[in-house]
Amino acid sequence: MALASSSSRLLHRFSSPPVTPSSLSSSSLPRPSRRVARPRGYSRFAVRWEHRPVVVVVPRALLGGGFEDADSDDEEDAHGADDVNLDLHAPPSGPERWDVLGLGQAMVDFSGMVDDEFLDRLGIQKGTRKVVNHEERGRVLRAMDGCSYKAAAGGSLSNSLVALSRLGSSRSTNYTELRIAMAGSVGSDPLGSFYRAKLRRANLHFLSKPVKDGTTGTVIVLTTPDAQRTMLAYQGTSSTLIYDSDLASLVSKSNVLIVEGYLFELPHTIEAIKQACEDAHKNGSLIAVTASDVSCIKRCYNDFWDIVANYADILFANANEARAFCELSSTDSPISAARYLSHSVPLVSVTDGVHGSYIGVKGEAIYIPPPPCVPVDTCGAGDAYASGILYGILRGSSDLKGIGLLASRVAAIVVAQQGTRLRVQDADRLAESFTLHLDNLEFCSDVETDHVSNF
């Protein structure tokens, strides 16, 4: 396979989809309440790799609780659309550009295994996500004294970006390194220092300055023996996003912009999101949006659709989130949601747990079967899946089925362990396997042989 040079750009063309879904009547699904047409010819993004050294500084004062560093054992740190491809070109890239910039909530995760009795005793409904205040957070953490739990630089988006960074810096391939960055909001407290240091260890650059006298947000993730997760989110006083000149400069130098859906529920962030997406669009960057949570979509439905319909090139959602976007019932198939959403967004990723996943393109849906997996902790599964999709696109693959299979394997590995981080050794193995897959596709193309993806 021909290797991309440091100055190469990949041009991905997402053709405008047909107006009416072939498989759905126009009256079977509601249209978004706000819809402004925008030209969507070519979405351009550059790929530039440059090795950066890793520096680790980890503070010890964290809420006064007993915890284990979640990265302490890490190394250094078939539904009619399978033939849909993306067009690739390679214009030159400029200096000092980020391959991917993520805008999201910067949260420190405290993850632990508990039983149902623990949740009942604290009056917590299993399988839900709830925003809590400082007192509620303290009450749960005190109840966890004596339990084993891990601390990590978390948040949905950072889970995806860390996995993407580890795939993109794999030493088992001949690719040069992806440059991944994140912007968000952390406080000037020890948790904020911990967050920045842990991301830096994973070769993910956190570019936002700490908020003076701000407190960093946290998420308590409680996993029961049936692998169900319950999340308690404390947003902190620093959980906001301001679109200033510094952030505008970062957006203008980024080739892919990812917006985390949880940002939509924070005060005054929707204008910042719109400005970032508008600048990214003018700059020719690829724009991705994560749905994040059904409750977020329902509370911020119009804002979500305003961004998704007018700016998004990629939408990541699970089955329930996709149905919420389409206002479908829980009995409707996720394939219907994937097909419908792909008429508004060029590429739609819909995960459905043990049932597999779908990639929606041009009103059709590619089915991605799930790999064998014994679930231990489902927290972070969707985040891991998104990293696989992005990695496949950034490495120049036009085989959507192969990209989906990679994403499914990344998610399965994360689900089969406790914790949300893709381990370095697993990332190396996955990146090497995907490179061999791309080599095989290129060989088949050279000899003009029809192929079926076996990745």
pLDDT bin (cut points 50, 70, 90) of residue 96 is confident
φ/ψ region of 311 (left if φ > 0, alpha if ψ in -120 to 50, else beta) reads alpha
Element of type H or E holding 358:
strand 357-361
Mean pLDDT for the chain overall: 77
The whole-number average pLDDT for the span 307-330 is 95
CATH topology of domain 9-14+32-446: UDP-N-acetylmuramoyl-L-alanine:D-glutamate ligase (3.40.1190)
Residue 183 has pLDDT above 80, yes or no: yes
Name the most confidently modeled range: 24-33, 54-63, 214-223, 437-446: 214-223
Burial class (CB in 10 A: 0-12, 13-18, 19+), 128: middle
Residue 214 has pLDDT above 50, yes or no: yes
pLDDT bin (cut points 50, 70, 90) of residue 47 is very low
Q: Residue 260's closest CA among 244, 241, 279, 247?
A: 241
Whole-Å CA distances, 288 to 157, 227, 263: 11, 28, 14
Q: Do the bridges between strand 100-103 and strand 256-260 make them parallel or antiparallel, or are there none, so unpaired?
A: parallel
The whole-number average pLDDT for the span 108-132 is 89
DSSP string, 291-335: ---HHHHHHTHHHHHHHHHHT-SEEEEEHHHHHHHHT--TTS-HH
Tell me what pLDDT residue 63 has: 43
pLDDT bin (cut points 50, 70, 90) of residue 421 is confident
pLDDT bin (cut points 50, 70, 90) of residue 90 is very low
Ranges 176-185, 228-237, 252-261: which has the least confidence? 228-237
Domain boundaries, the chain: 9-14+32-446
Element of type H or E holding 191:
helix 190-201
Residue 304 has pLDDT above 90, yes or no: yes
Residue whose tokens read 């249209």: 31
Ranges 89-103, 131-145, 408-422: which has the least confidence? 89-103
Residue 335 or 73, more confident: 335
Tell me what pLDDT residue 226 has: 87
Question: According to DSSP H, which parts of 311-423 are helical?
Answer: 319-326, 334-341, 381-394, 400-415
Name the most confidently modeled range: 10-19, 144-153, 333-342: 333-342
pLDDT bin (cut points 50, 70, 90) of residue 69 is low
Residue 321 has pLDDT above 90, yes or no: yes
Tell me what pLDDT residue 441 has: 67
Tell me what pLDDT residue 416 has: 86
Tell me what pLDDT residue 59 has: 28
Tell me what pLDDT residue 442 has: 57
Q: Give the sign of the dihedral formed by CA 33, CA 38, CA 42, CA 43.
A: negative
Q: Structure pTM?
A: 0.76
Ranges 145-149, 356-360, 368-372: which has the least confidence? 145-149
Tell me what pLDDT residue 436 has: 87
CA distance 14 to 204: 28
Share of the chain above pLDDT 70, in %: 75
Please check whether residue 30 is in contact with residue 61, taking contact to mean a CB–CB distance below 8 angstroms. no
Share of the chain above pLDDT 90, in %: 45
The whole-number average pLDDT for the span 161-190 is 89
Ranges 114-123, 154-163, 166-175, 337-346: which has the least confidence? 166-175
CA distance 70 to 85: 39
Q: What is the tens place of the pLDDT at every residue in 248-299? A: 999 999 999 999 999 998 878 999 999 999 999 999 999 999 998 898 899 9
Q: Give the sign of the dihedral formed by CA 120, CA 293, CA 400, CA 389.
A: negative
Residue 437 has pLDDT above 90, yes or no: no
* Biggest alpha carbon–alpha carbon distance for the chain: 65
Ranges 39-43, 104-108, 298-302, 364-368: which has the least confidence? 39-43
CA distance 407 to 387: 7
The whole-number average pLDDT for the span 55-75 is 40
